Structure formats: C-alpha cells, structure tokens
Amino acid sequence: MARKASLTITMGPAIATGCYLELTINGTQVRFIANEGTFGSGVNRIFIQNQNPTIVEGESPDMVANIKALVNVIRNYLQEIGETRYLVDGSLTYSNLNFPNGGIVGIAADEYSDSLNFNYSVYNVPNMAGMIVTTTTNDNPATASVETQSVVCFGGTTGSANVTVTGGYPPYNFAWSDGETTQNRPLLAAGDYKVTITDSTDLSVSGNHVSKIELEFSIGQPSQVNIQSEVQGQNITVTVSGGTPGYTYAWSDGVATQNREGLAPGSYQLTVTDANGCSSTVSVVIRDFRFYFSRNPVPLELQAEDPELKPNLSFLVELWVEREYLSCDFEKVVPEPLEHPADSSGATSFDFREFLDCYLSPYLPEFGTKAIARADSVFRRFYIKHTQKYGSPAVLAPYSQIDSEYVLLGGLDTPESQANTFFTSYLQNRKPFFTWDLPEKDVYTDQPEFLFFMPNSFTLEGFSVQVKVSFSDGTSATHEAFTQGGVKRFELFCVPVGHDQLGLGELKIGVGVSNYDVYVVDPEGTVISEVRRFNLLPDYGEKRRYLIYANSMGGLNTLVAHGKAKQKFDPDSLTLERSILPGTPSTQHELEVRSKLGKVSLELTTGYRPMREIQTLQDFLLAEKVWLVENDRYTPVHVPDKNQVVLDEEEEIGSLDFEVQLPRRQRYTPQLKLSGYLPPELPLELNPMEP
C-alpha cells in the first residue's frame, strides 16, 4: 500500500566515454563515469571498461560487461560507506524502445525511509547512446491499530474493537476471521479475533508494494460470578467468588442478606450481583429434613431452568464424604464427576447408595463397656456438588450447589422404603430406638444389651438416658444412667442398657429388679424417645450363650441361645502325593500334608419363644455381622443360610435352630483367660487347673 525508494537505469548497448550518472546517497554526491580504465575511488567511479561493443543477435556480451561493471561499482561504494539498506542488481533487456538491445541496472531500498530517496543527474555525450533514469520515492507506509473494550460481564457480548488505519491508499477493505467486513466491531463476545486490512494500491505501478496489514487481538472478560451454597439443616451459608467484588444479594423471598438461618423446607433462589452489575442465580433446596439409609436409594433429583435454551444438556455431580466425623476433611469419592444426560424435560436423577455404603461399618463397643458413646463408624456426613453442562462447544454453568446430608448404615425393606412411612410418620410419632426388637423384652442380668438413639432436632444440645426401675419388693425408682452434651441432629449414640451394664443391682442392695424401662429426655425433662421395657428372667444356672448382631437399622441386637450346644469340627487338608522309592526311610510319608484347617461350628437354639419374637429374628438371619460373646472377647461368627420357619399361625410359640461357624483353626489352642492364672494373693505353688 506504499512504495519504497528505487532507481532504474536503462542503458544502451554502447556507452559514450564521459557519460555519467550522479547520485546523492546519504547526502553525498557520487559520480559514476563511463571511461576506460580501472575503477575509481572517492566520489568519482569509473565503471565502463569496453566502449566498442560487438552486437550479436540475441546477446550483447559487451553490454553484459557494462551492466556488471556498473552494478559492481555501485555495490562497492555502498559497502565502503557501510550502507546495507539498498539492493543493487542488473539484467539485459531486448524490448526497451529507447535501447532495443540495452540493459537495466536497479537500486531499491529495502525499508521505508525518506533518507533513502534519490537525487540524481545524468550526462550523456551528444549523439551517443547513453542512459535513461527513472525513480520512485518513499511513501509513508500504511499502519493500523485497534482499540478494544473488554466484555463487562462473563459470557456477555458487550466487547468492542475500533480499528484505525493511516497511510497507504484509501479506501480500505476489512476482512475479519468470522466473516464480517466492517471496520469497527461492536457487541463482541470474549475471544480471539483477526482482521486483514487491504488498501487500494494500484499494483500496475512499478515499485515494491505492501498491500495488506494483519491485526490479531483478544477481547477479555471478567471471571464469572460463582456461587456456592452450603446447606446445614435449616441454614444456608453462601460463598461468592469471581466477577468484581462488591456483591449484593437478592433472595426470591425478598431477603437481601448473604446467609440464611431457620428456613422452612422449600426451594429458594438467590441472585448475586457484582460491582459491574453482573449477576448469577442459584437455586437452593431446604429439604424436609431427614437422613438416608445406605442400603436404600440416596437420590438427587435435578431440573434445569429453560432447558430448551441449553442444547446437549447434562448434569455433572461430585460426591464428597467426610472420612472422619467432624474433621471437616471431605474427600471426593470418585476422581471425575459423575455425568448424566438430561431427559426431554431437562431433568435427571442420581443414586449414591453404592458409593456411600462402603464408607460405613457396624459400631461394636469395647468389650464390657458401661459408657455411652457416639457410634461414628455407622454414619457419615457427605455433600454433593452439581452443575450443568450444555452447548457446543460445551460450557459449564456458572455455579454449583452444595447439599450437606447424613447417611446411616442399614436400610428398610423395599416396599417400606418406597412407601416412605418410616420418615413421614414412624420416626416423628414413635421416636424409636434403632432396633426392630419388640418394645418389651425378657433378659438376664448378665445379658449385654444396646440401644441406639438418634437426636432428631437441630435445636437439641444434649439429652439424658433415664431408667425407671421396678424392684421385686413393689417399689420403684428413676435413675439417670447417662448424660450427653454437644449433640447434633442425625448423630447416632450407642447406649449400653443391660442390667449389669447399668449397675442396677447396686441401686437397692439385697432387693432384686423385676423390670426396668429405658427412655431419653431433653434438658427440660421432655421424653424424646420411645420407652423400652426389659423384664428380668430368673437365672437357674442353665447353659446359655449371647450373640450380638448388627441389625438393619445401624444398631446392635442381642440374641440368647439356650441349652447345651453341639460343636462340630470339620478338618480340611491340602495334600501332596509322592512315590516311596526303594531305600527311602520308613518314616517317610507317602501322602504329605502341606496345610490343614479346621472348620468349627456350633449348633444352637433360641429355645421356645413367642412367635412374635421369632418373627423379629429375621433381622438376625439377614445380619451380615454377628459376634459370639465369650468370657472376655467378641468372636466373629458366620450364620450359614438355612430355611427357617418364622411364623406358624397354628402355634403361639416356636424356636429358631441355627448354626454358627467360628473362625477357622490352624492350630489347636484353648481359649486363654484370666481365670487360668493364679491370683496374686495365693502362694506361688503348682495347682492343677485348666488353661
């Protein structure tokens, strides 16, 4: 779109002696003279060595020498003065009208600068073929610049680009990478842009032309206003990032505070606006508070707003679980987000039960414990982060929502889970301990019993376990067994409630206990649980064993096996046969035993019990974790599958006969216990006794 300085010397086939070209280069006049002789120096340069060319059709050898001589002398001079901004070249031409068999020497600047323009004069000897000189001079080259304006809000189209062009040869043409042809661009989205600017240079004019300029630039934008909302019960804590700080908050119910407390169940929309007027909106759901059983669905239902405006819509979900309760250290369950496509209405659902169940395990208290304890292994806190992905190329929605929940080990049978009766009425009206045992149970004084209690209120800060004892002499007394403070809703507490665990035998020395009731009260004395009654059975010294099993509600139940048991021992060997060759010692075994295990099992029975109680023992038959209570330890056992009669409407009583498999034995060792050692007060002497 502009021309660089150039000078063209058209030469005839014969140059008269004395013909010269005078140039001003960098302010110095230099004369190039056509004379025979050697090259000159200083400001006078001799460049013609042959003045009598012999013209041959198709070529002019002397002309070639003359052109080369002029090219060389000009190059030598430029080299001497250190000027490198010119290109010098020469060529023959046979079509020039002035000199049909002449040649051309050209000098051209390789950059734009007025200092590179030429002043010249030519002296041609009369009546002799000589030189014709033409020049071009530097024009100011065209330049272009762009002034951009960033997008005001993330994802908007308020950016702009104004292009300024100077020099060259207007009018200018603009070709944008996205197909537009206007000079300036309003309403641009953030991104990278390129524009090619072409002027109206007449390319037929001789010279070195640059006809286009390319500009590349980016339109920026601020970060998105990102909202994260954490739901804790009836409270919402909001964290905002991105955008331009100086946020304002507008809730759908008219409240303008950042965080919310004491909200009723329902859906709430929050719009956050930053200092530039950019906003994002998030929906937050306060659920009709509940926890989840890990063996039942743990659902998340998601619905997009305006799904018709979101092509290829899908939902991304991250599940975070607190490995250690109250540590606030949550870990992501799977590295990559779970993704579900939306259906035609813009909705989808997730179920997290399989992910959560593996974080939970039954809580087995320390052997012989008499203290209340929080059963941390049975429940976990978790939260869910979710967002939307849509469009092509895909973009993520500018927010994610967090819902905090509790999950408890266990589950309801499918029909009851689907009916949702447990959460809609049973939990509130019954206020149950977490067991399906009958509310009235016959027990022995040394029988270990545990009740699991869950505080079901966000305002409850503590509770106490009350025991109302009825004595054999007809009197009664209420005893406060445990107090517990600092509780949170949906935590689960293991309460030992056996006769000896509660120390009831020490309440009235010499007087036995007929029965006792266990229940929980709040700090004001209001009963906040069901009442469980335990009737004391007389101890006639009969043989009995206690088994503790993890029930389907996350708690522990105790089953009593009556009568003498039969123990079976089933050995199992891994052997290797080998040949006995002549000369082999007679002590060598033909069958080598590499390892040997013993499968030990006990045949037990509940004895005759009311059929209503036998029915509840289906929970025992479905239990995945069972322990046999021994003298000083819990021994894990397995209950093999066996067909059982749990209801016979023609009978009022029945029994449950079952087998338990003990841990396999590799070596025989009797169960060692403290009673196998001499008491320290006895003299050290050998007395025969069992281990």
Tell which phi-psi region holds residue 295, choosing left (phi > 0), alpha (psi between -120 and 50) or beta. alpha
13-65: per-residue pLDDT in tens?
A: 667 777 888 888 888 888 888 876 655 555 566 666 444 444 444 455 567 77
Over 137-190, what HEC string results?
CCCCCCEEEEEEECCCCCCCCCEEEEEEEECCCCCCEEEECCCCCCCCEEEECC
The answer to whether the predicted template modeling score (pTM) of the entire model surpasses 0.85 is no
Is the Cβ–Cβ distance between 238 and 226 less than 8 Å? no
221: helix, coil or strand? coil
Cβ atoms within 10 Å, residue 213: 21
Q: Grade residue 443 by pLDDT with cuts at 50, 70 and 90.
A: very high
Q: H or E segment at 69?
A: helix 61-80
Give which of 542, 541, 546 is closest to 443, Cα–Cα: 546
* CA distances for 62 relative to 11, 31, 103, 208, 440, angstroms: 12, 22, 11, 30, 132
Q: Grade residue 112 by pLDDT with cuts at 50, 70 and 90.
A: confident
Domain boundaries of the chain, sorted by first residue: 6-136, 143-219
Top-confidence residue, 352 or 671: 352
Look at residue 51 in the predicted model and tell me its pLDDT: 45
Look at residue 70 in the predicted model and tell me its pLDDT: 85
Residue 207 pLDDT > 70, yes or no?
no
628-643: per-residue pLDDT in tens?
A: 999 889 999 999 999 9
Q: Report the alpha-carbon distance of residue 403 to residue 382 in Å, rounded.
A: 8
